[in-house]
Structure 1
Amino acid sequence: MRFFIALGLWLLPQILLSQDWEDRRLFEGATPQQTLRIISSTDTSLFAPIIENFLAKNPELEVDYFVAGTADIDRIFRADPSAFDLVVSSAMDLQFKTANDGLALQLNDVVHPSWAQWRQSLFAFTSEPAAIVVNRDAFSGHALPKTRQDLIEAIRARPEVFQGRIGTYDVRQSGVGYLFATQDARASETYWRLMEVMGALDLRLYCCSGEMIDDLADGTIAIAYNVLGSYASARIESQSKIEIILPSDFPTTMMRTAFVSVDAPHPKRAAAFVKHLIMQRSKEDENAVLLPPLEILANGADHATIALEPALMTFLDTLKRRGFIAEWEDAVIQR
């Protein structure tokens, strides 16, 4: 038995090193004695202040922070739940299913609103809208779209300006992209008309918001659809070049969630980090945190916020997902 435990401890670093991570960074406390491993879809630059604030209060720890796409996170974590202490992702549906499958540890001492958690095992800690972000130069002298229908009309009016210069998530690879797309499709048929219009102009497909914002800022693309608003807001150096539009027809807001692995190597420390996430926008830390807070709503989540409930898993059904992807490909990939 000792041999297998030792083998597992030896293999874990090799497995983690073998992954092609988008980013990886080790944050050290003043006197580190234990390592928390966090796998997350949030860019390191946005999450770093939260980790640094936590380590300032827990100097005996260090945090090994791994960044991957939302769909990759789900796959990697399910392959070995003991490899990580915490999982943080913007793909609410995949997170919900993982927790519902019993892979998230129940934390009975975490106080959180019922609408922002699921069975004391999955906890929301930010509210972030899906935004239309545009390069201002492409709309110079023209009205900015306020709705998806406005966007359709703007693209149709000047197709030569937007040919090959519109970006959105590749929903076949991006978990949060798939979440936003299915929510949009449920809300209105306008979504499918928009996909067809954009698809006819050689739509560019992306894995993540960060890459879309980069291409938007340098003019490679003129429009990024369904980008996480927090990523665009954080690009202070690009604020003179980009405009963030929250569509008024049917706004979509997701809640970024976190859970402790049921097989976490350090469950108590991980639970302490979850509590820290929930309290991240306390008065003393608010200037250091780049991610938006969880909106506290009088009557729970409003109509614009995707609810943390079993309905999230509807489009994760194999047949429904296959059908949705097929319809999306017909609209977007026009040959």
Structure 2
Amino acid sequence: MRYIFALMMWLCPVLVLAQDWEDQNAFGPASASSTLRVLSSTDTSLFAPVIEDFLQSRSGVAVEYFVTGTAQIDEVFRAAPGDFDVVISSAMDLQLKLVNDGFSVQIDNLDQPDWAQWRNSLFAFTTEPATIVINRAAFAPESVPQTRQELIAAMRARPEVFRGKVGTYDVRDSGLGYLFATQDARASETFWRLMEVMGGLDAQLYCCSGAMIDDLVAGDLMVAYNVLGSYVAAREDVADTLEIVLPSDFPTIMMRTAFVSSRTEVAEEAAAFVRHLVEMQTGQRNLDAFPLPPLSATTDSTGQAVISLEPALMTYLDPLKRRTFIKEWSSAVIQ
């Protein structure tokens, strides 16, 4: 029945779940004997080369790729875990919670460092920093802010330039935005001062990096905070318009992760897909087909990992802590 339903989805894409997807694509032969359904927050344009590379060695296999926001992934998958085989998201805290709640299966013999995997069930395959992205038109080359404090000073000095033209994630709706914001807040009180300044300038709020980048290119934004720099770097049309700044005061970093659903009916293919993602990072696969930043250990001055897959990531998923954080963030940003 699973394969009959998959074939119907190839013939009639409108039947694919009652969900408003950001994107939805099919890869591989329509007559495939096995169909792998991947739920992801990564734009199709970035992930298509990975899927195509995987399918080169998997005859008779097709992939259906569904894209939605990080918070929506958690909601959609919890509601129907049997509808998807592999889950990929940049909201590593929500992913860790899904695994802890029993929604994944173990994959043995995957060579991953401890900081990049959790219980042989959740596997990181990229390391990506949050960045400040600016429209070059707003800054002279010598005045581009390199820290959050410098960004605060720049916006305070010229509010007429930045009013209504600064953007960041809406942490109420974006799982990744919430992760970045809570990690920022844990690292420094500067985050709250920055949010207050952006709020005073009528900050524009977004679901995702792609939308912020589009508005930066159009000139509707001059500054976007906590954008995935990899999304900017992947666009050839923005090099003359936008500049990526990796704040030098402290890094905020996430790892994109994947796991196999405990309800999958194509466990072998699902595990092979996750294994493929990991092996692309270890040189066992064609890294040229991988357009995202590779997995790498990021350490502080003491040699400790800046971020890792560990229970502490779930601290701000506690309902009371989440309500408190969002209340404080709303007071700062939505003035």
TM bin (shorter chain): over 0.9
Cross-structure match for 1:110: 110
Is 1:160 aligned to residue 199 of structure 2?
Answer: no
Cross-structure match for 1:184: 184
Check conservation: 2:298, 2:307, Cα contact below 8 A: no
C-alpha distance in structure 1 between counterparts of 2:249 and 2:145, whole Å: 11
Shift of the 297–214 alpha-carbon distance from structure 1 to 2, 3 Å rule, reads closer
Check conservation: 2:130, 2:228, Cα contact below 8 A: yes
Is 1:234 aligned to residue 273 of structure 2?
Answer: no
Bigger Cα displacement from structure 2, 28-37 vs 174-183:
28-37
The 5 A counterparts of 1:22-61 are 22-29=22-29, 32-61=32-61
Bigger Cα displacement from structure 2, 133-142 vs 89-98:
133-142
Shift of the 58–244 alpha-carbon distance from structure 1 to 2, 3 Å rule, reads same
Is 1:309 aligned to residue 318 of structure 2?
Answer: no
Is 1:149 aligned to residue 149 of structure 2?
Answer: yes
Check conservation: 1:172, 1:325, Cα contact below 8 A: yes
Cross-structure match for 2:330: 329
C-alpha distance in structure 2 between counterparts of 1:94 and 1:209, whole Å: 18
Alpha-carbon distance, 1:58 to partner: 0.8
Structure 2 residue identity aligned to 1:259 = F
Say which SS state the counterpart of residue 37 (structure 1) adopts: strand
Q: Residue by residue, what CA displacement relative to the aligned partner does 1:187-210 show, whole Å, maximum 9, x if unpaired? A: 000000000000001100000000
Q: Residue by residue, what CA displacement relative to the aligned partner does 1:155-209 show, whole Å, maximum 9, x if unpaired? A: 0010000000001000000000000000000000000000000000110000000
Shift of the 303–151 alpha-carbon distance from structure 1 to 2, 3 Å rule, reads farther
Structure 1 residue identity aligned to 2:230 = S
C-alpha distance in structure 2 between counterparts of 1:206 and 1:197, whole Å: 17
The 5 A counterparts of 1:120-139 are 120-139=120-139
Check conservation: 1:69, 1:174, Cα contact below 8 A: yes
Check conservation: 1:254, 1:305, Cα contact below 8 A: no
Shift of the 108–207 alpha-carbon distance from structure 1 to 2, 3 Å rule, reads same
Say which SS state the counterpart of residue 62 (structure 2) adopts: strand
Alpha-carbon distance, 1:253 to partner: 1.1
Say which SS state the counterpart of residue 64 (structure 1) adopts: strand
C-alpha distance in structure 1 between counterparts of 2:201 and 2:298, whole Å: 40
Q: How many residues are treated as equivalent by the alignment?
A: 327
Say which SS state the counterpart of residue 49 (structure 2) adopts: helix
Structure 2 residue identity aligned to 1:140 = A
C-alpha distance in structure 2 between counterparts of 1:196 and 1:244, whole Å: 22
Alpha-carbon distance, 1:258 to partner: 0.2
Of all paired residues, the percent bearing the same amino acid is 60
TM-score norm. by structure 2 comes to 0.93
Structure 2 residue identity aligned to 1:58 = R
Say which SS state the counterpart of residue 18 (structure 1) adopts: coil
Say which SS state the counterpart of residue 16 (structure 2) adopts: helix
Alpha-carbon distance, 1:304 to partner: 6.8
Structure 2 residue identity aligned to 1:219 = G
Structure 2 residue identity aligned to 1:224 = A
Q: Residue by residue, what CA displacement relative to the aligned partner does 1:198-245 show, whole Å, maximum 9, x if unpaired? A: 000110000000000111112110001000111111112111110000
Alpha-carbon distance, 1:285 to partner: 2.2
C-alpha distance in structure 2 between counterparts of 1:215 and 1:202, whole Å: 15
Structure 1 residue identity aligned to 2:288 = N
Check conservation: 1:89, 1:256, Cα contact below 8 A: yes
Check conservation: 1:105, 1:259, Cα contact below 8 A: yes
Say which SS state the counterpart of residue 39 (structure 1) adopts: strand
Alpha-carbon distance, 1:17 to partner: 3.3
C-alpha distance in structure 1 between counterparts of 2:187 and 2:293, whole Å: 24
Structure 2 residue identity aligned to 1:78 = R
Cross-structure match for 2:101: 101
Alpha-carbon distance, 1:323 to partner: 0.2
Shift of the 304–189 alpha-carbon distance from structure 1 to 2, 3 Å rule, reads farther
Check conservation: 2:41, 2:88, Cα contact below 8 A: yes
Shift of the 249–141 alpha-carbon distance from structure 1 to 2, 3 Å rule, reads closer
C-alpha distance in structure 1 between counterparts of 2:312 and 2:328, whole Å: 21
C-alpha distance in structure 2 between counterparts of 1:29 and 1:295, whole Å: 34
Structure 2 residue identity aligned to 1:96 = L
Cross-structure match for 1:214: 214
Alpha-carbon distance, 1:142 to partner: 5.2
C-alpha distance in structure 2 between counterparts of 1:167 and 1:93, whole Å: 23
Check conservation: 2:297, 2:305, Cα contact below 8 A: no
Q: Residue by residue, what CA displacement relative to the aligned partner does 1:58-90 show, whole Å, maximum 9, x if unpaired? A: 121100000000000000000111100000000
C-alpha distance in structure 2 between counterparts of 1:113 and 1:133, whole Å: 31
**Is there any run of 5+ residues in structure 1 with no aligned partner, and where?**
none
Alpha-carbon distance, 1:52 to partner: 0.4
